Amino acid sequence: MVLIKEENIIIEDIKEDDLPDVVEIEKEAFSDPWTIDMFYSELFNPISLFWGVKDISGRLIGYISFWRVVDEAHVLNLAVHQSFRRKGIGSKILLTSIDYCKREGIKTVLLEVRRSNKAAQELYEKYGFNVIVVRPRYYKNPVEDALVMALEL
């Protein structure tokens, strides 16, 4: 499914062929990255939405995955390739997801973010997410608190 097609980017479903590129971005973006098997299983998970952003040449530059659980969406992964950050790509994919959730009647979007990850927190706050609870020592490698952020639609 194609979500967005513009002059410079396209947002569409991630396919199996895209997974090596997903993992490359993931490894660079996170200290406790998901493996290719974890992403692969999302392709067959009926509650999972998994979308990639590609540039005009077809190169994968970012992705998001989230689960839809009744009237809630849970964001699992969101990352943009390091060379393409601060160009609005993260915003584009997040806003595309929020629009989809609104259309689908989802009431709340939830996610976890490391306490030290100020860039992601700024992104989420910019689009209306608030911290609702802290999960102490939620992350490993390194151990760190998670801030649970929510957006009411």
Ligand X SMILES: CC(C)(COP(=O)(O)OP(=O)(O)OC[C@H]1O[C@@H](n2cnc3c(N)ncnc32)[C@H](O)[C@@H]1OP(=O)(O)O)[C@@H](O)C(=O)NCCC(=O)NCCS
Q: Degrees (nearest 5) of the Cα angle 91, 94, 99? A: 115
In the set 48, 96, 117, 138, which binds ligand X (CB under 6 A)? 117
- In the complex, what is the shortest distance from the CB of residue 65 to ligand X, in angstroms, rounded to a whole number? 11
- What is the torsion angle, in degrees rounded to the nearest 10, for the CA atoms of residue 16, residue 65, residue 103 and residue 10? -60
Stretch of 44-52, 101-109, 115-123, 129-137 contacting ligand X, by CB under 6 A = 115-123
- In the complex, what is the shortest distance from the CB of residue 30 to ligand X, in angstroms, rounded to a whole number? 6
17-24 long-range contacts, CB within 8 A, separation 24+? 18/52, 18/60, 18/63, 21/52, 21/59, 21/60, 22/52, 22/60, 22/63
Query: What would the x/- binding string for ligand X be over residues 71 to 110, using CB under 6 A?
Result: -------xxx----xxxxxxx-------------------
Binding site for ligand X (CB under 6 A): 29, 78-80, 85-91, 111, 113, 117-120, 122-123, 126
